[in-house]
Structures are given as C-alpha cells and as structure tokens.
Chain A
Amino acid sequence: MNEPGSIQLPQTVLSERTQATEPVVEAIKPPSIVRSFLQSKSSGKVADGTFWGLMIVCALSIFLIVLLILSVLVVNSKLSIHAFGWKFFTSSSWDPNSGDFGALPFIWGTVVSSLLAVCMAVPLALCVSIFLLEICPLWLRGPIAFLTELLAAIPSVIYGLWAIFILVPIMRDNVGPVLQKYLGWTGLFGGSNFGVGMLTASVILAIMIFPVISSISRDVMKAVPIHQREAALALGATRWEMIRMSVLRNARIGIVGSVILGLGRALGETMAVTMVIGNHPDISKSLFAPATTLASVIANEFSEATGDLYLSALIEIGLALFLVTIVVNGIARLLVWAVTRGNTARAV
C-alpha cells in the first residue's frame, strides 16, 4: 500500500536524510528504503496528495461500476428496446424461434414469488427479532443470532440442492394435498402438483431472505432508545404493550425498510429459484403451476441464446432487473437510515 508514494521520491535523498536525522537507528539496524521513507517526517505534500488521489479513485470506481453496468446493459439491449419498445413488458409471448419476445410471464413470476416469500418471511422475522431483543435471556441471544445469521452464509446453490431433494418431495406429498383439500376452493391450489413450481420457490425464497429482514429489523429495533422502553414500562404497560408502543412504533420506518430490502433480495435471487420453480413461461392462477422469473430465465437461456435479438431481449430483462433492484434497494436504504441515523427519538 505504501509503494506508490515511495516510488515518487528520489531514494538517495531519502536515505541521506534518514542517516542525518536518525543515526542511532541506523547504527542498530539498517532500515530498508521503504521503512526509511515511512519514517521520514517531512514528505507530506506529495505523498498526501497521491494517497488522497488513490483513495478517491477507489471510491469513485464504485460509482463508475454502477454507471458501467448500466451503460453496457443499455447498449447491448438496444436491439430489443427498438424492436419492441414498452410492449416488451406487457406482451406475454416468448418465442425465440419466431423472434417474438415479451417479458410479462417473467415479471409475473418474479413479483408473485417475491411477494409470497416476503409474506411468509416477515412475520417470522419480526417475531424472531422481538424474541431476541426483548424476551430471550441474554446467554441465549448470541447463539440464536449466530444460527439465524448462518442461514445467510449458505450459498444459493446449496439451498437449491436441498430444495430439489428435500423440499420438493415434502411440498408434493405432504403440504400440497393438505392445501388442495382445505384451500382448493380459492382456485390458488388447482391443477396437478409436481412439487416444483411457484409455491416451492416462494418457500425457499422465504428461508433465504429471512436472515436479511431479521438482522436489519433487529438493528433498527436496537436503535430505539432504552428510555422509550422504560417510560412505557413505568406507565404499567405489559411487555407486549411496551414492544408495540415503544419499539415497533419508533422503529416502524426502519422495519419497512428491512422488509423492502428483503424484497430486493428476493427479486434478484437466481440459483435456488431456477432449480425449483419449473421454468415454464406461463401465467397461471395456481401456485402449484411451474413458472419462471426474470433472473431464472437469464440463468437458463443466456448461454444458449442464438441470434442477436434473443440475446438482446435477455439483456433487456437483465436491465429491467438491475433498475428495479436499484430503486427498491435505494428506497429501503433511505428508510433504514432514517431510523438508525438521528430520527430515532421521535415522540410516540
């Protein structure tokens, strides 16, 4: 990390100066060039400027990466944007042979599977956060928090592998028939149940986004000042009333942020979903029916896409995914910041 600075100064001057100012050190142990440069005290201006420049280049590169991804996706999807325009997002035909592309089935699959996953994960995540912060004895808090965070460390492809061999049979043989029997009248659980499909994908997504929602909502709840809790308890509130009035109410914006963050994660999740959703570009009312998402159609078809228009249509799907996740994440981050930075001590 120090090399860029040291190259710029003449080394002879440096070693002379070191010898002049620090003869004792020299006598004990001859310092290397790098070390003597590091120990020289008056090399400020040039090195400072260079270092600042290097750091700001690194920082700006993050900005550049986003711009680069955006521009590269826009340029490469031009063909499809010109050919289909806005109709691309409302048309439901996906026919590589005749060159007719529409993304509606994928948008449907992505939105439905993500929303279902969020609906399943949010109540659980909030309950676990409340348990860990307000109910759980201290000695148990660390291990359980560690375990739930371990869920986040498992790679997507391993979730997919587990889902194919464990979750799919369970959904097919145990959960599916029960849902069909008791909730069949809604029409949401009609048709044949192969185990792979929208519902299974949502369940695996819910498991995957749970740690995101849980850990961030916990941070947000932790940011609620302790005297808010004490005030509620002092007024005679039960623990639940205290949680509801002091914790949840003060942290609500941040909790919404954490939920949206989880949604953002679910929208872009690829591998596990691809492995269990069935990959069939169809809009069906039944949750048992196979579907496909924006991310999984890319994963499945991108490396086999023949023809410029096909490729460009897939890249336009990627562009849409990029823009949607950026907006969703942007909103979520702003909401989380609103709570964890500053505005926490709002009156109830």
Chain B
Amino acid sequence: MGSLPVRSANSERMSSLRRSAANHLVTTLAILSTVVVLVPLVAILGYLLYKGASSLNLAFFTHVPAPVGQQGGGMANAIVGSGVILGLASLLGIPVGIGAGVYLAEYGQGRLLGKVIRFTADVLNGVPSIVMGMAAYALIVAKQQHFSAFAGGVALAIMMVPTITRTTEEMLATVPHAVREAALGLGIPKWRTVISVSLRTASPGIITGCMLAFARVAGETAPLLFTAFGNQFWSFNLNQPIAALPLQIFVYAVSPYDEWHRLAWAGALVLIAMIMISVTLVRIFANRGALKGGH
C-alpha cells in the first residue's frame, strides 16, 4: 500500500474504482486460465477414450503384432512385457527406496548426511529419464553386448527410488513421536519400533507412494528405447530384448500405417487405464488401511 498522501474525495473515489477493477480483472483472469488449462486435459482424455475404445478388440489382448501390411494383431506380448519389466523394477526399487526413506526419517533427522541424501534424492528425481536409459545401456547392455529386459528393469528401478524415498520419509514424519516413544519406553529395540510401529502406522501412505512411483515409470518410454528395446514376439527371458507397451505405442504412433495408428490408440487407452486403475485401487486399499491402523 505504501504511503498514502492526503487526497481529495474525487481522487479517492477514482482510486477505489481502479482498485476494484484490478481485483475483478485478476479474478476473471484466474477463472479463465483455469478453464483454459482444463481444455487440453478434457481433450486428451476424451479423444483417447473415443479413439481407443473404437480401436480396442479382443485380439488386442490375445495376439502378438501382425507383420507390416496385414490387418489385425495385438499387443499381448507388450502388455506382458511391461508387466515383467515393471515387476523387476519394483522388486529392485521399492526395498531400496523404502530403506532410504526410513534412514532419512528415523536416523538422519538434523544430520548433514541426511540433508545431503535428501537433496540428492530430489535432484535425482529431476534427471531426465533418457539419461537413466543411457546409463543402464552403458552399464549393462554395452557390457553384455545385447539388449535385455533386465537393463530396462534397472533403468526404471533407478527412477522409482527417489520418489519412494521422499514419500516414505514424509509419511514416516507424520507418525507422532509419542507412539515411537511409547514403544521405546516398553524396552522394544529401535529396529523393531521402526518396523512394527513407525512403518506399520505409515504403511497406507508408503504403499500409495510406491504406487505413484510405479504409475510414473509405467508409462516411461525413453529409458526403454535402448535397454529393453522392444520385441515383436513373446519373450519371458530377462536376458533378451522384451516388448513394452509404451515402446510399442511410440513405434506405432510414428509409423506411416493407419492400422498401426489404430493399435497405438488402443494401446494408449489400455496403458492409461492400467495406470489409473492401479492408482485408484491402491488409494482405496490404502484408505481402508488408514482407517484400520489409525485408531
């Protein structure tokens, strides 16, 4: 507001008019931009539903891709391949992420090491996914001389760790100190307090965090381009190239064939449905858990 000099009644009325006009202008702008932002969201989801649903059929879930020029075919191998890679990534990433989160919340509070690691996790979170793919390529693929599902899993696992670490830490921080002190006061060792009291109380939030990390990497394409590489056929071998849904969508989307475009839309719908369903399911599950554990 600054300093207000003495003003005549007229100029005061003018200024009050100006101020309220500015107020209305900003309010209108804010409402307008919210509407503008919701347009692409609705457009993307709506078009995805429309195109995806009209392209989806049973063959999509049961067949492997058809050769170029032929009609039909599906992405069954890509769906399973995505499952394999994501399972591997979760297996590697979730324990490490939770462990690091436990360290930050239970041991590293106020310590330099804790701060450094928290900062590193935040920064790692922002590293582009394609760089992760490149690192996994140099570490694993270049050494083995062939693309593999394992390399893809490692790249995605690295991406999951920082997200899980930070949510685990935040969730553990919400556990009241009195609960921990009660456990320690009963003579229970610290490690058991952490596992059966802190982690258990915070488990709904931690599970949600893991699920969000999972959902985030489920749609990642860039780190798989030169690790998992993609595959037109069935493969369950971790040591071999494997198909993945996002990769397949990418390849089909940039191809010149209408039939492949159709499959790309169907794949996109399936991918986003899988992500949304898993997130929603876990949210419901976690909420129920919160009610049970929250007394």
Interface residues of A (CB under 8 A from B): 1-2, 5, 38, 41, 43-44, 47-48, 50-52, 54-63, 65-66, 68-69, 72-73, 75-76, 123-124, 127-128, 130-132, 135-136, 144, 147-148, 150-151, 153-162, 164-166, 207, 210, 214, 235, 237-241, 243, 245, 261, 264-265, 267-271, 275, 295, 298-299, 302-303, 315, 318, 321-322, 325-326, 328-330, 332-333
Contact = CB atoms under 8 A, between A and B. Distances in A.
Interface string B87-113: 000000001111110111011100001
A166 B30 CA distance: 26
Given A63-B116, A154-B44, A157-B246, A303 B229 contact: yes
Contact of A162 (B34, B44, B114): B44
Interface of B: 1, 19-20, 22-23, 25-27, 29-34, 36-38, 40-41, 43-45, 47-48, 51, 95-100, 102-104, 106-108, 113-114, 116-117, 119-132, 134-135, 137-139, 142, 158, 161-162, 165, 187-192, 194-196, 199, 215-216, 218-222, 225-226, 229, 246, 249-250, 253-254, 261, 264-265, 268, 271-272, 275-276, 279
B31 A135 contact: yes
Contacts of B264: 161
Contacts of A50: 191
B1 to A, nearest CB: 6
Contacts of A165: 51, 261
Given A72-B138, A156-B220, A158-B249, 12 more contacts: A43-B189, A59-B100, A63-B116, A65-B161, A135-B27, A150-B45, A154-B272, A157-B249, A158-B268, A271-B250, A299-B222, A321-B131
Contacts of A44: 189-190
A239 B32 CA distance: 17
A38 B197 CA distance: 12
B135 A68 contact: yes
A71 to B, nearest CB: 10
Contacts of A57: 99
B139 A68 contact: yes
Contacts of A61: 96, 100, 161
A41 B216 CA distance: 41
Nearest to A260: B126
Most buried by A among B142, B220, B253: B253
A44 B275 CA distance: 42
A235 B99 contact: no
Contact of B222 (A56, A69, A214, A271): A271
